[in-house]
Amino acid sequence: MDQNGESTEKDWDDGYDDFDDFNTTLMESATAIGLGSPTGVEGEPVFYGGVVYTWGSAFNGELGHSQYTAKGICPVPRRIPDLCGVIQIGCGEGYTAALRSDGAVFTWGQGYKLGHGVDQDCFEPRRVEGLGNQFIKKIACGQYHMAAIEECYGGMYAWGKGSFGCLGTGSDKTELAPVKVVTKVHLSGRTEGHLDGAHDVACGYCTTAAIVGPDRELMVWGAGDHGRLALGDYKGRAWVPIKVEGLRNVTQVSLGSWHGGCCTEEGHLYTWGRGEWGNLGNGKRIRVQASAERVLGALEGQVVRQVACSTGNINPITGPGKDGLHTLVVTEQGQVFSFGTGNKGRLANLWGKWSMHLNGKEDALLPYQVGGPVQDQAAAANREPKLSKYLEGEPMVQVCPGNVHSTALSAGGRLYGWGDGTNGRLGLRRYVTGNKTCKFYVSAPELIEELWDSGVHVKQVCTSRQHMCAIAL
């Protein structure tokens, strides 16, 4: 990075002698991206980037550091050396990614998902050179593929496993380096165009979605089975982006393993896909909801600002209380709602430790406000239901669900986790000191104290099935 804030060919580990000077030189770039505080508080300083912490499993080098046990587990958050100025993170199955404030993308972990041009695992952050000198403003990580949006025209690029056309290249070929997302494919296989005008992107399990154009419409591509693309009767694979009719002014989109959701400027929440566990929030266990439908219930009258659909569960088990799918939502007032399977305590709606004997009572088919009445209490006449009061006292600004666990980030930079913490994926010290012969299920949100006690302020969190990462100041 030179004195004018221009990108150079220096790699990520060159370091910076003075972090404050580094932030000053990147001020213009960060402002161009439009980054503000996640709290949404007017007048709060613009966020110019932080450092990255990771924890959980390290089977493919996805943690980016060497602070893990002989069994490949890092049970508490540890910082990745020398990687700083990061403004966005993402992670998928066996890999992790980071976007630096100068528009450079770094990836590490399982090789073919990284965009480095080779199918070789990488154990520390390495720049994605295939993006050239493009200034990237957004990245997204799916189960087996990634996508990125460049700043100038909003052009989209993708790489990784192309199953069912999820890369938007007109084929299902695996791409080891970034390629353009095209707009048309002919029967001969010839492609045309380049999808541009994108504001945001999300990747799921063989699916991709982008918010595109001045009307902020939703475009989707990839696997169309089980209603995963919200395209109604469309059951095939979408080789190139297709517009979802009826959705405009979309502000945020999330794609999970088998379902998706989005928020609009008006604060409305829409969901689609598989819903056997109540994870669509419509009050029913429905096999497939092929179109985007608005979620009401306790969210009626609420302004929803973020939805997050559970990732990493490509083989969910159907039935009440089974290991299925769930969804988390955060509102403008900082309230967290959860719905779907309550298996292993991932909805934060239990008082005691999750038990198989609940027989599905822990599932929520409608949005449940975290902190409300718990589901494992005995009914009693003339007595008010017990409130858990979980996450009470400070507004939440981000939620993030994995396969069997959940997290929430507060406006004050405190990170909380609950659900199945096996293999250290929740980052709680109690996993290290507790009895490891038993499953580590956490029903009540717990502060990830390693981060807070280190004096850092968490700005963003992301999770996969087996590991997590966070940006902190």
Which residue would you say has higher pLDDT here, 436 or 239? Answer: 239
Closest CA to 90 of 108, 65, 66, 117: 108
Q: Are 408 and 396 contacting, i.e. CB atoms less than 8 angstroms apart?
A: yes
Nearest to 39 by CA among 306, 299, 236: 306
User: Can you tell me the distance from the alpha carbon of 110 to that of 174, in angstroms, rounded to the nearest whole number?
Assistant: 14
Q: For residue range 19-63, list pLDDT tens digits in order.
A: 344 343 333 433 333 333 444 445 555 677 999 999 999 999 999
Exposure string over 329-352, b if 16+ CB within 10 A, otherwise e: bbbeebbbbbbbbbbbbbbbbbee
Mean residue pLDDT of the chain comes to 90
Q: What is the CATH number of domain 78-411?
A: 2.130.10.30
What are the φ and ψ backbone dihedral angles of 201, each rounded to 5 degrees? -145, 150
What share of the chain in percent tops pLDDT 70?
Answer: 88
How do residues 216-228 score in pLDDT, each as one tens digit? 999 999 999 999 9
| pLDDT tens-place string over residues 182-230 | 999 998 889 999 999 999 999 999 999 999 999 999 999 999 999 999 9
Residue 107 in this model has a pLDDT that exceeds 60: yes
Encoding tokens for residue 159? Answer: 């790489």
Global pTM reads 0.89
DSSP structure string for 380-429: -TT-PPPB--TTTTS-EEEEEE-SSEEEEEETTS-EEEEEE-GGGTT--H
Q: If we measure between CA atoms, which residue out of 423, 404, 262, 424 comes closest to residue 324?
A: 404
Q: 229 with 222: CB under 8 angstroms?
A: yes
Contacts of 12 (CB under 8 A, 6+ apart): 82, 83, 100, 104, 106, 125, 126, 127
Phi/psi at 358 (nearest 5 deg)? -70, -20
